[in-house]
Structure 1
Amino acid sequence: MSIVFSSCSRQQPSESGRIRWSLVLILVPIFLLAGWWLKDSLTRVQPREPKRKVVVLGFDGVDPRLCREFMDKGALPNLSQLSRQGTFRELGTVNPSQSPVSWSSFAVGGDPGQHGIFDFLTRTGGDPTYLPSPESFVGQIEARFFGGIPVRLPKAINKRGGRAFWDYAAESGIRTALVLVPVTFAPPCLPNGLAISGLGVPDLCGTQATYFYLTSNPRKVGVAQMTEFGGLVTLLKRSGDSYHAQLAGPPSPLWKQEKSRKSDGLKKQKDSIKSPGLSLDEKQKIQSEIDRLQNDLSAFTAHPQRLSMPIEVVPLSEPGTARITIDQDEKVVAVGKWSEWYRVRFKVTRFISAHGICKVLLQSVTPDVRLYVSPIEIDPERPAVPICCPPNYTRQLAQKIGLFKTRGWESDTAGLKEGALDEKAFIEDTFEVMDKHAEMALEVLHEDDWGLYVAVLSETDRVSHVMWRLIDPRHPAYDPVLAAEYGDSIEKVYRKMDDLVGKFLNEINPLTTDLYIISDHGFRSFHTGVNLNTWLSQNGPGGDASRPFMKLRLPANRQYNLQDLFSGNTDFFKASIHDPVEGTTKTEYYVNWNETRAFALGLGSIFINLRGRETWGCVARADYNAVCDEIIQGLESLVDPATGKRVIRKVYRGLEIYHGPYANIDSVAFPDLVVGFEEGYRVGWQSTLGGITDQVLVPNRDKWSGDHCGIDPSLTSGILFANRPVEASRTEIIDIAPTILDSLGVPYPTLQGRSFAREGTANP
């Protein structure tokens, strides 16, 4: 989702219309408040007591093997207590074991066919169908202005389908609280309840992690201002004793308006070429206009005009310090220490500003000035879009416990991954965030006598992603010096988890309350990237390279970045072509779609170029199963020549592993094949971003060294701890929803998951 504001008009109100505009300024807030009151009054339900209360404390990415290891050495006393007195078991995850997929399945009690979230990445469903969507599991409605006055506020749309178990609970009268639960953005408004959104909430730029790296050394900036994973590198320009730059924010309203106009014009031409009765000459003319408009839109989209705000750095006489001003907030910052929160704003119109908060890490003042500015969070006291319901609760919470990060991907993993942050700065920030989230979770727990309480902390996942290399000496990025200093980072974040579990144990009466400690998946090492589209372009049936599954027509000569993935960029799957005569550069598909039978997107999804579903589909329905069989046979035979071991454990058919309304072969979001990698392997970075590399297998020398995405779900089970015995024949994440509803005494329709309670073990 992007937090953007589009304007319907640039015209300012005339003198004769000032009274009308004054009325608008007065009435719009009244109508908005009335809407919230009306919504609350219509959904108000008489509260009732549950059969038993339920508290769920989730920790993203906690691995059962590491839990056992740390428990055996006495590092997790509270979880050890739960294991002795109640339950500790592995919790089966879903396929694929990706956080938005797993937590969505947790919510609805079913596999992705029940909710429609199949990957971190989905497709637009537009024309052409091959483009990734910037709205993977969160959609958007943009704000609109008329003459600078808001006539529609921005809001998010949760794209997860199905009904969550907390909806059943709240609607039956159970007081319900959700704290940072993934895929709850936009926040659900629960009767007698409260929800603070988690994974899915963007930063103020509309992304998950746009950080800023500023330097006074022009040699450090380079040609590319946007890094591979979303950082913005900016040159600080010297003026006397100070240095200045602009921090880029969301796209400007006028740029968004012009982009929409160009997109509408392109769509109109694409619709017109489908008109019956057109002559060949007419079709050629329309196609020529489509090509022109497409190139124009691509060039326009490649250079977005953004809102911005100033930053000034003034080195001080005291060594290692500087006065740093962002927008109008000024602080003295010391080298190597995180600043306090800056309160900033992007001015959208004369009447509207988008408010945010950020921190600064000053890295050097001599010989070069260097600093890191964290992604700009939505200000919890003045959110640009609703991030909780009731909508004023984060304001109240911030006034009690202080400002906090609101972004769903709360850790600055991208900054560490790309060298803009070091391990020390990353760990300090992430542990501080975890402490604040723990404080938030306890504050909400004390807020009311909840019948159902669910909180999820994600720092366990983030630390594991980037620090796994320091516990795996065989990893290509292993560094013995760093391992000596930071090799215990994962254990430390597990200890912090255990501390919070202990605090919850002190708050909960086991005679009246069921407590579940869960994770959505585990973790494995990621030492080798697998470029699926490279494999598809080099292999055909039976290994016949002359008939590849993906046919290339041009060299894939672009290095893709995260902006390409989440900006809705129409240059996906395209190469850059320079015309030396004209001095221009245009883009064309490097894929010959008319002869391509399959392509990969996301973190392990493969799509058949199916006729009738895809824009240039060439595979007939009668050949669908045969093409799937050929790809499965080839991929499951892939061997790493460096080790002699298989790369892929199993390739799954979407129609066999998914069940429900979203398991629809005609949907562009539905993956035909899902790759389950062996331990150590995962989709390569450029393959994920839309590129094709020369090699199928590439060593992962990146700091992002641990993973679960795409790794076979049999290798990535999560954890289940409970304060009561659970002896069910299976324990999977889809079983949690019906188990909770049975404990609460709330009726529900048939779910795919199976309740522990109905086996007579969770609630004797």
Structure 2
Amino acid sequence: MVLILVPIFLLAGWWLKDSLTRVQPREPKRKVVVLGFDGVDPRLCREFMDKGALPNLSRLSRQGTFRELGTVNPSQSPVSWSSFAVGGDPGQHGIFDFLTRTGGDPTYLPSPESFVGQIEARFFGGIPVRLPKAINKRGGRAFWDYAAESGIRTALVLVPVTFAPPCLPNGLAISGLGVPDLCGTQATYFYLTSNPRKVGVAQMTEFGGLVTLLKRSGDSYHAQLAGPPSPLWKQEKSRKSDGLKKQKDSIKSPGLSLDEKQKIQSEIDRLQNDLSAFTAHPQRLSMPIEVVPLSEPGTARITIDQDEKVVAVGKWSEWYRVRFKVTRFISAHGICKVLLQSVTPDVRLYVSPIEIDPERPAVPICCPPNYTRQLAQKIGLFKTRGWESDTAGLKEGALDEKAFIEDTFEVMDKHAEMALEVLHEDDWGLYVAVLSETDRVSHVMWRLIDPRHPAYDPVLAAEYGDSIEKVYRKMDDLVGKFLNEIDPLTTDLYIISDHGFRSFHTGVNLNTWLSQNGPGGDASRPFMKLRLPANRQYNLQDLFSGNTDFFKASIHDPVEGTTKTEYYVNWNETRAFALGLGSIFINLRGRETWGCVARADYNAVCDEIIQGLESLVDPATGKRVIRKVYRGLEIYHGPYANIDSVAFPDLVVGFEEGYRVGWQSTLGGITDQVLVPNRDKWSGDHCGIDPSLTSGILFANRPVEASRTEIIDIAPTILDSLGVPYPTLQGRSFAREGTANP
């Protein structure tokens, strides 16, 4: 999404401040504080508690409660935290995966707006006539909405899937997971080098980094940092897309003659080619970067835009303040850091993803919208991106373990400071904060605590094998600070996580399996019919480009010397396909553009796929790969459990420990092999792993004796503690069954 600085957002804080106090504040029956930590695993908690590494959580366990917290299916962060918010499974809120789908032509494309939608800016003569806006695509009502609207002073700090931020009466909300960087992505990092052999033809890496050549001029090196797509270019792209859609709608009009249809189809082809050519060369905003090696060994003067600093090799810089000029009247402001890696023989440096400047945000990332500016003035600049850790840089070798851990731990310290600052801001009746660094470290450092993992490195394990324990210790330190602030006589404290973790040693390419297997293992009648070899390696740009090149292969004509793209999937004979991190969609007639499965055959096709996948065995171990394949209509309940919606997964795969959807499969590619060793640094996971294996944690400062503790039970429990009425929820309150609130 395109993000543009508009100072009007900050001015809006004046009238919003008044609008947020229209509900008469009242005191709760009991106050509630929820401190969430993404991805904390109960098994590791017990292990670290047993060795005395988590004294504050051990204290809570003795004096109150420590139990596993059941997660949802699938146990993915945006899904789990959305279920936490509304007190129900994904059928209650419509977030089924990190990736989602929207209707259109073709409908097989994933949407770049998985759980955050957008309204782009519009310009006339360089002047904005419509401001950019984010839209939270989570459905249902969050428990904090009920609380705030009943008069409870409510604070939300970095809670996932709260972007755009909710404006709560007498409340405060700082958005978490979902907030993009200034390029509109979760993590576009920059790797710059003076060695042309390190810059390939494709400058976009598999997972979203931009590799750029530094050109030498005398004693200095120069490059342009590519920023977000130009809003004016995006506006023109939208205009072309609207024109194409209009023609596609018109060809469906009844009563058209064959000649009229042919003319319209000719215009559709022309507009489609024009749009494809236009989209293939996006115009990006950019700004200059200059690197000047200094006489002092291992140092350089690095200037980005107009901000100049002296940086030493191996050390993170302080924050750079940068801006991209959009028009004569508007600039997009951001902040970033630099890690200088080498000045000789090659100059190499890493520039972190450019964050939205919290003091001059391009779009509101909190409500009231000027609060992040006040917060930054108190505690200093901080990352605003929802995916706050540079996991992509580490995964792709642009960062090493030392740099990643230093940065991530610094971010966690800043987030802890932020959480405490907001806690002291008011006498909150309801306070919810979520820190996510526990999840990020576990994803990329799990290989160093699992000697059986293909990416295990004993040398790195000796130095960084305690990284997960260290991030858990940081969690425990913050819990201790909250315990010192909270009166248990008046306040219920819950420490929770949305899911646990398991090793990820083998990737499973679901589309490959679908293309090689049919009913009863009959390979001659595969569920996914290929008409061409799938000869592409996909990256995140392919996945989210919005172009119609998904599931396409490049075909080179040596005679003509031309290359064209064609679908490698024969949709007319394809009965199922996979997208995301474990979702399988039936190519259902009437729902999909080229659907071929009749509704009468829907259950039979589902049965055949379930039988085949649940029989899949890893030949290297002789063990089952998949614990269970779930039917969407059986596990989801509510308004979003709708078979006619392209976002609704027909089947959800629950993998055994060690297995997860393969990397290329998540990006839309089809590889030769179904099972592929995961030699990647991203080595721990929970996405797609069966929810029975990925429970989270629940600690409380009071006994909880309910027979069931699941993440969907937190919402009604909190509302009961507050004394706030609410409609029937899918989750069950601990208070009504156990003794959380005697």
Same fold (TM over 0.5): yes
Deviation at 1:491, TM superposition (A): 0.3
Deviation string 1:301-335 (CA, Å, 9 cap, x unpaired) is 23211000000000000000000000000000000
Q: CA deviation at 1:567?
A: 2.6
1:385-433 deviation line (CA, Å, top 9, x unaligned): 0000000000000000000000000000000000000000000000000
The 1-side partners of 2:473 and 2:370 are apart by 33
Structure 1 residue 548 displacement after superposition: 0.7
Number of the residue aligned with 1:11: none
Q: CA RMSD in A?
A: 2.3
Could you report, residue by residue, the CA deviation over 1:229-270 in whole angstroms, capped at 9, with x for unpaired residues? Answer: 000000000000000000001111332123123212321232
Deviation (angstroms), 1:28: 10
* Displacement of 1:761: 1.0
- Counterparts of 1:146 and 1:660 in 2: how far apart (Å)? 43
Q: Tell me the TM-score normalized by structure 1.
A: 0.95
CA distance in 2 between partners of 1:295 and 1:357 (Å): 38
Alpha-carbon contact 1:79-1:498 (below 8 Å) kept: yes
Matched-pair contact (CA < 8 Å) for 1:607–1:673: yes
1:727-746 to 2 correspondences below 5 Å: 727-746=705-724
Q: Which moved more, 1:695-704 or 1:35-44?
A: 35-44
User: Which of 753-762 and 425-434 deviates more?
Assistant: 753-762
Distance (Å, rounded) in 1 between the aligned partners of 2:3 and 2:112: 33
CA contact (8 A) 2:13 2:370 kept: no
Which deviations, in whole Å up to 9, do the C-alpha atoms of 1:98-152 show, x marking residues without a partner?
0000000000000000000000000121121111100000001111222222222
Deviations 1:50-88 (A, max 9, x none): 000000000000000000000000000000000000000
Greater CA deviation, 707-716 or 32-41? 32-41
CA contact (8 A) 2:9 2:364 kept: no
Q: 1:34 to 1:341 in 2, by over 3 A?
A: closer
Tell me if the contact between 2:401 and 2:464 (Cα under 8 Å) persists in the aligned partners: yes
| Secondary structure at the counterpart of residue 748 of structure 1 | coil
Using a 3 Å threshold, how does the CA distance of structure 1 residues 763 and 351 change in structure 2: closer, same or farther?
A: same
Q: 2:110 aligns with which of 128, 132, 136?
A: 132
- Aligned equivalents of 2:505 and 2:477: distance in 1? 31
Q: Cα offset for 1:759?
A: 1.0
Evaluate the alpha carbon distance shift between residue 290 and residue 592 of structure 1 in structure 2; reply closer, same or farther with a 3 A threshold.
Answer: farther
Cα distance, 1:292 vs. partner? 4.4
Cα shift at 1:290? 3.3
Task: Identify which range, 312-321 or 137-146, moves more after superposition.
Answer: 137-146
SS for the counterpart of 1:447 is: coil
Closer/same/farther in 2, CA of residues 660 and 377 from structure 1, 3 Å limit = same
User: 2:405 & 2:50 partners in 1: Cα distance?
Assistant: 25
How far apart are residue 434 of structure 1 and its match? Answer: 0.1
Farther-moved stretch of structure 1 (358-367 vs 281-290) = 281-290
Contact 2:74-2:97 at 8 Å conserved across structures? yes
Moved more, 55-64 or 591-600: 591-600
| Separation in structure 2 between the aligned mates of residue 413 and residue 763 of structure 1, nearest angstrom | 41
Q: Distance in 2 between matches of 1:360 and 1:24?
A: 23
Q: Distance in 2 between matches of 1:234 and 1:31?
A: 34
1:646 is aligned to: 624
Instruction: Tell me: CA distance 1:32–1:56, structure 2 relative to 1, closer, same or farther (3 Å).
Output: closer
Unaligned residue ranges in structure 2 (runs of 5+): none
Q: Indicate conservation of the 8 Å contact 2:117/2:137, yes or no.
A: yes
Cα offset, 1:280, TM superposition: 4.6
Structure 1 position 277, deviation (Å): 3.2
- Change in 2 beyond 3 A, CA 1:450/1:32: closer
Question: Could you say what secondary structure the match of 1:522 adopts?
Answer: coil
Task: Provide the C-alpha distance between the structure 2 equivalents of 1:71 and 1:668, rounded to a whole number of angstroms.
Answer: 45
1:203 is aligned to 181
CA deviation map 1:418-454 (0-9, x unaligned)? 0000000000000000000000000000000000000
Aligned-partner Cα distance in 2 for 1:477–1:29: 48
1-side partners of 2:9 and 2:139: how far apart? Answer: 29
CA gap 1:459/1:643 in 2 versus in 1, 3 angstroms: same
TM-fit CA distance, 1:351: 0.5
Q: Decide whether aligned partners of structure 1 residues 310 and 113 sit closer, same or farther in structure 2, where only a CA change above 3 A counts.
A: same
The separation in 2 between residues aligned to 1:674 and 1:281, in whole angstroms, is: 46
Structure 1 counterpart of 2:151, from 152, 167, 173: 173
Change (3 A) 1:672 1:26: closer
Q: Is the 8 A contact 2:585 2:651 kept in 1?
A: yes
Aligned to 1:228: 206
Distance 1:236 1:725, change over 3 A: same
2:498: which partner in 1? 520
Shift of 1:587: 1.8
1:535 Cα deviation (Å)? 0.5
Maintained 8 Å contact 1:295/1:586: no
CA displacement 1:204-231 (0-9 Å, x = unmatched)? 0000000000000000001110000000
Cα deviations by residue, 1:705-761 (Å, 9 ceiling, x for unpaired): 000000000000000000000010000000000000000000000000000000141
Q: Distance in 1 between matches of 2:3 and 2:526?
A: 61
In the alignment of these two chains, the number of paired residues is 742
Gaps of 5+ in 1: 1-22
Q: 1:274 to 1:36 in 2, by over 3 A?
A: farther
- Per-residue deviation, residues 4-31 of structure 1 (Å, max 9, x unmatched): xxxxxxxxxxxxxxxxxxx999999779
Contact 2:515-2:527 at 8 Å conserved across structures: yes
**Residues in 2 aligned to 1:179 and 1:560: alpha-carbon distance in whole angstroms:** 35
Distance 1:513 1:376 in 2: 39
Displacement after TM superposition at 1:35 (Å): 8.5
Q: Is the 8 A contact 2:6 2:363 kept in 1?
A: no
CA distance in 2, matches of 1:228, 1:731: 39
| Larger deviation, residues 588-597 vs 483-492 | 588-597
SS at match of 1:256: helix
Deviation at 1:295, TM superposition (A): 3.9
The 1:202–1:38 alpha-carbon spacing in structure 2 relative to 1, beyond 3 Å, is closer
**Structure 1 residues 543 and 295 mapped into 2: Cα distance closer, same or farther (>3 Å)?**
farther
> Contact 1:25/1:149 (CA < 8 Å) preserved in 2?
no
Say if 1:30 and 1:639 are closer, same or farther in 2 by CA, change over 3 A. closer
Q: Measure, in 2, the Cα distance between the counterparts of 1:25 and 1:642.
A: 48
**Cα–Cα, structure 1 residues 116 and 595, in superposed 2: closer, same or farther, change >3 Å?**
same
Give the whole-Å Cα distance in 1 for the aligned partners of 2:20 and 2:337.
41
Alignment of 1:455-466 (within 5 A): 455-466=433-444
Q: Residue 446 of structure 2 contacts residue 503 of structure 2 at CA under 8 Å; is this kept in 1? A: yes
User: Structure 1 stretch 471-480 or stretch 284-293: which is displaced more?
Assistant: 284-293
Counterpart contact for 1:40–1:191, Cα < 8 Å: no
Q: 1:462 to 1:31 in 2, by over 3 A?
A: closer
Answer yes or no: is the 8 Å Cα contact 1:100–1:117 preserved in 2.
yes
Counterpart of 2:52 in structure 1 is 74
Distance 1:77 1:29, change over 3 A: closer
1:280 and 1:616 map into 2 onto residues whose CA distance is: 22
Structure 2: how far apart are the matches of 1:68 and 1:339?
A: 37
**TM-fit CA distance, 1:39:** 7.9
Q: Corresponding residue for 1:714? A: 692
Match of 2:654 among 671, 676, 680: 676
C-alpha distance after superposition, 1:529-560 (max 9, x if no partner): 00000111111111111111111111111110
Cα distance in 2 for partners of 1:235, 1:25 equals 26
Question: Distance in 1 between the 2:472 and 2:205 partners?
Answer: 31
Three-state SS of the structure 2 residue aligned to 1:586 is strand
Q: Following the alignment from structure 1 to structure 2, what is the Cα–Cα distance between the partners of residues 580 and 393? A: 60
**Relative to structure 1, is the Cα distance of residues 70 and 29 closer, same or farther in structure 2, using a 3 angstrom cutoff?**
closer
Superposition deviation, residue 289 in structure 1: 4.3
2: CA distance, partners of 1:74 / 1:35: 46
Between 1:577-586 and 1:498-507, the stretch displaced more is 577-586
1:240-251 alignment runs, 5 A limit: 240-251=218-229
Give 3-state SS (helix, strand or coil) of 1:78's partner. helix
Contact 2:32/2:721, CA 8 A, preserved across alignment: yes
Distance 1:97 1:353 in 2: 39
